A = this chain, B = another copy of it.
Amino acid sequence: MNLQNLMVDSIRQSATNVFSTMLGVELSASEAVVESGTPDSNDGVVSFIGLAGAWVGTGSVSCSPALACRVCSLMLMTDSIAMDEDVLDAVAELTNMIIGNVKNDLEVQLGTLGLSLPTVVFGRNFKTKSAGTTEWTVVRFPWEGETLVVKLCLSPSDKSHSNCHMMGQTCAIDL
Contact = CB atoms under 8 A, between A and B. Distances in A.
A50 B116 contact: yes
Interface string A121-162: 111111111111100000000000000000000000000100
Interface size range of chain A in the complex: 35 or more
Contacts of A116: 50-52, 56-58, 114, 116
Given A52-B116, A75-B167, A167-B75, A131 B89 contact: yes
A76 interface: yes
The copy count of this chain in the complex is: 2
Interface stretch (A3-11, A27-35, A90-98): A90-98
B117 A128 contact: no
A96 B126 contact: no
Chain A interface, DSSP helix/strand/loop, else mixed: mixed
A171 B74 CA distance: 16
Contacts of A167: 22, 75-76, 93
A169 to B, nearest CB: 7
B101 A117 contact: no
Nearest to A103: B173
Contact of A101 (B21, B22, B119, B172): B172
A128 B133 contact: no
A175 to B, nearest CB: 6
A130 B50 CA distance: 12
Interface of A: 17-18, 21-22, 38-39, 48-53, 56-58, 75-76, 83, 85, 88-89, 92-93, 96-97, 100-101, 103-104, 113-133, 160, 163-164, 166-167, 169, 171-175
